[in-house]
Structure 1
Amino acid sequence: MRKIDKSILAKVIKPRDPISYKGNYGRILIIAGSIHFGGAAILSSSAAVYSGAGLVTVATTPEKFASLNTRIPEAMTIDYHDQKETLNSIKQSNVIVIGPGLGISELTQSLIKSVIENTTKNQTIIFDASALTEVSEENIDITSISANVILTPHQGEWQRLSELEIPDQTTDNNLEAINKLAPSSLLIVKKHLSEIYYHDNVSQIKAGNAGMATGGMGDTLTGVIAAFVGQFGFSEETVAAALFLHSYISDSIYEKSFVVLPEKLISEIPLAMKSIIIK
């Protein structure tokens, strides 16, 4: 098992070309949020913006537009009930995130189907939270997706997907399960010392702490991953760097704080990324 440490950051995070525009750094669509879980959309989209994504669009329920536009003026909002507008955004985005705070519903199932059917090999889909639950409960086939696929379950979600009880989620068992479920996908099992599974390779990050055990931490990670893939391209190393940076910043905060709040973590992302390229 490969151990991921701070050296991964300099391999992935590179200085920007002086002649750049926002289209160079990824068009990210985040399909997230609902009446009861609007915070998930805010955290995932703000993490994407602060991690350097060029353009971020949030497809959510209109009741959450005001809070999103106030908290993250850099992000655009669309109504995910509008099938035409949502489909257009799916086709135009480099990275599509689906799941944070969506909830379990026929709408979520419809949105997942739309994403699966309307993406190409040049795009990346990140299945998170509610989308992972729908995939497992509705037996949605994700094996034939042409786009790059990233799955981001915590251990409970991975148990539902893989049918592996948490004590049985060993490296060998996880490899066997992901190769049956979606052999071309990249899997992140979120836990203490999170692990990445991709094409029979297994990596583990050497960072993270108990202060991260708070609501919204996973939504934040998803936004960071989306931004990194949008800027630096889809690869195992890109995802590993996003995962490590998320925990690396959290470790710094945890040295002085009892709990690591996602908003605090997000606010420190730009400075942490800058520190990597000026050393």
Structure 2
Amino acid sequence: MTASSFQRPLYLADQVRELDRRAIDAEGDGFALMRRAGESAYEVLCARWPGIRRVCVLCGGGNNGGDGYIVAALAAADGVAVDLVALKPVAELEGDARRAAELAAEAGVVPVAWNDELTLDGELMVDAMLGTGAHGAPRPPYAAAISEVNASGCPVMALDAPSGVDVDTGHIETEAVAATLTVTFVGDKLGLHTGAALDVVGDVIYAPLGVDPRSHGGIAPVAWLQTRQDLARALPPRRPGSHKGIYGHVLVVAGAPGMGGAALMTSEMVARVGAGKVSLATDAAHVSASLTRFPEIMARGVRGAPDLEAMIESADTVAIGPGIGNGAWGQAALRSVLDAGKPCVVDADALNLLAREESGIHRDDWVLTPHPGEAGRLLGISTAEVERDRRDAVIALQRRWGGTVVLKGAGTLVYDGDRLTLCPFGNPGMASGGMGDALTGIIAGLSGQLASLGEAARIGVLLHALAADAAALDAGERGLLATDLASYARTLANPQPVSSHADHA
């Protein structure tokens, strides 16, 4: 399955190192690539902090340190005062990194060897310590230097990756540099866009340095980064002859006694993103509220499995889980849906019930939408293990359960067994009750409008995140509620067409 032309490919560290090697072999000069990296980073620095007068550059060994020495040389040549801190003695540097250090020396920059008593000073810190090659907890002296950078209170520009971040997973073992922005080179890295890394990478700016990763055979991206333009590609204007029968009939099974809110939120989102018909199977106590709030939704009170059969039969897709609980009502509802064999979107309590199943269910016609805690229960591991390697977890979930899996959280991942997609949108205001119910409704609502459940999951995740961003932009992140997303989701589900010349960044 091919990604849209707007999406950016994401790679692992080893793959980017291979791209580096191929680019150097083609050019015959590794130092030229290092110079381009330093020059690109310095251009970003000047654009973000114009008029800066003093910078502190911390350089490790290897190519990442070499990039830092280039930045130091360029800054000094511009008349910027440079404090250069060497985490590895210059005399021990080799190859291109040694040449870069010599260039800095020619520009009049004298490095100071790191020691634990050193106080960092300057208007900006440049982190060129560990880059993409480090895994696990930073060792001395890097651990102390990372802490000192973070304690400085200065803005930070990280080169390729903040030191302490695992660029394959986004995991942070102990502490990482908290960057204001990260300039990453040659190929963009998966771990800069998901998991704990999102707390420290700041703005990520991709500098390809003249290398086109997609032109190199045998180096397939491990994931694709979604863009806003994907909405217009997936959701073109409707044809004049459209009717409700062609946009899907979604049944929402939600809301055990006392949990009516989940049922209402999920159902509303199904309708707001354009499903042709929406039915709601819920506890009888919630029907009156549903009819009052959404008369367009066909709500019916159900006591058990027999009441559900006709409703499931008439639906094209079933969304099940929000507020169904773990008791008899929820268990009977889930069993009825699974036995019917209809395509379904499974969330919340339904996932927890699935995790207790011992029958080895594996289906191609469903979407599972776990948060990390639910994912851990579905895999029989801890939440921390899920978050340590989110890519590995979402792949394991799909292999175990089938279909399409949406692993929610910072940098939501969607995997259908073929392609892994990463959503770079969303905000901390989404950490509130009901957001998962809204996502379930959006995905289910799109299921009858798109070519596959996998596509509904991908576009649904994107639409959900962008709606939350629009709502937060208007009124802030704190106090953002799931019901706030409805009007924004409707607007975004009707995007303006984009040309093939649209900005891909």
Same fold? TM cut 0.5? yes
Task: State how far apart, in whole Å, the 1-side matches of 2:466 and 2:374 are.
Answer: 24
Of stretches 57-66 and 10-19 in structure 1, the one that deviates more from structure 2 is 10-19
Tell me what 2:24 maps to: none
Task: State how far apart, in whole Å, the 2-side matches of 1:160 and 1:192 are.
Answer: 19
Residue type of the alignment partner of 2:482: P
Residue type of the alignment partner of 1:126: V
Tell me what 1:64 maps to: 286
- TM-score, length-normalised on structure 1? 0.91
Tell me what 2:403 maps to: 185
Residue 346 (structure 2) pairs with residue 127 (structure 1)? yes
Task: State how far apart, in whole Å, the 2-side matches of 1:95 and 1:167 are.
Answer: 33
How far 1:199 moved relative to its partner? 0.8
SS at match of 2:258: coil
Task: State how far apart, in whole Å, the 2-side matches of 1:52 and 1:23 are.
Answer: 12
Task: State how far apart, in whole Å, the 2-side matches of 1:198 and 1:11 are.
Answer: 19
Question: Per the alignment, do residues 141 and 30 of structure 1 end up closer, same or farther by CA in structure 2, a change over 3 Å counting?
Answer: farther
Residue 322 (structure 2) pairs with residue 105 (structure 1)? no
Task: State how far apart, in whole Å, the 2-side matches of 1:23 and 1:101 are.
Answer: 28
From 32, 43, 47, the counterpart of 2:269: 47
CA deviations 1:20-79 (Å, max 9, x no partner) are: 221111100000002221100000000111111111000001100011111111100122
CA deviations 1:226-273 (Å, max 9, x no partner) are: 011122232433321111111111112212323322111112222222
CA contact (8 A) 2:304 2:332 kept: no
Point out the structure with max Rg over C-alpha.
Answer: 2
Tell me what 2:367 maps to: 150
Tell me what 2:298 maps to: 76
Task: State how far apart, in whole Å, the 1-side matches of 2:234 and 2:360 are.
Answer: 32
Trace 1:157-172 onto structure 2 (pairs within 5 A).
157-169=374-386, 170-171=389-390
From 2, 15, 19, the counterpart of 2:241: 19
Tell me what 2:32 maps to: none
SS at match of 1:30: strand
Question: Per the alignment, do residues 39 and 172 of structure 1 end up closer, same or farther by CA in structure 2, a change over 3 Å counting?
Answer: closer
CA contact (8 A) 2:269 2:438 kept: yes
Mind listing any 5+ residue stretches in structure 1 that lack a counterpart?
none
Instruction: Calculate the aligned-residue CA RMSD, in Å.
Output: 1.9
Question: Per the alignment, do residues 233 and 89 of structure 1 end up closer, same or farther by CA in structure 2, a change over 3 Å counting?
Answer: farther
Trace 1:258-273 onto structure 2 (pairs within 5 A).
258-259=477-478, 260-273=480-493
Task: State how far apart, in whole Å, the 2-side matches of 1:29 and 1:10 are.
Answer: 26
CA contact (8 A) 2:395 2:415 kept: no
Residue 449 (structure 2) pairs with residue 227 (structure 1)? no
Tell me what 1:88 maps to: 310
The total of aligned residue pairs comes to 273
Tell me what 2:457 maps to: 239
Tell me what 2:426 maps to: 208
- TM-score, length-normalised on structure 2? 0.52
Task: State how far apart, in whole Å, the 2-side matches of 1:261 and 1:248 are.
Answer: 14
Mind listing any 5+ residue stretches in structure 2 that lack a counterpart?
1-222, 500-505
Question: Per the alignment, do residues 140 and 233 of structure 1 end up closer, same or farther by CA in structure 2, a change over 3 Å counting?
Answer: farther
Task: State how far apart, in whole Å, the 1-side matches of 2:233 and 2:226 are.
Answer: 12
Higher helix residue share: 1
Structure with more contact order per residue of length (Cα contacts < 8 Å, sep ≥ 6)? 1
SS at match of 1:20: coil
From 428, 432, 435, the counterpart of 1:217: 435
Percent identity of paired positions between Structure 1 and Structure 2: 29
Tell me what 1:257 maps to: 476
How far 1:7 moved relative to its partner? 2.0
Question: Per the alignment, do residues 204 and 172 of structure 1 end up closer, same or farther by CA in structure 2, a change over 3 Å counting?
Answer: closer
Residue type of the alignment partner of 1:27: H
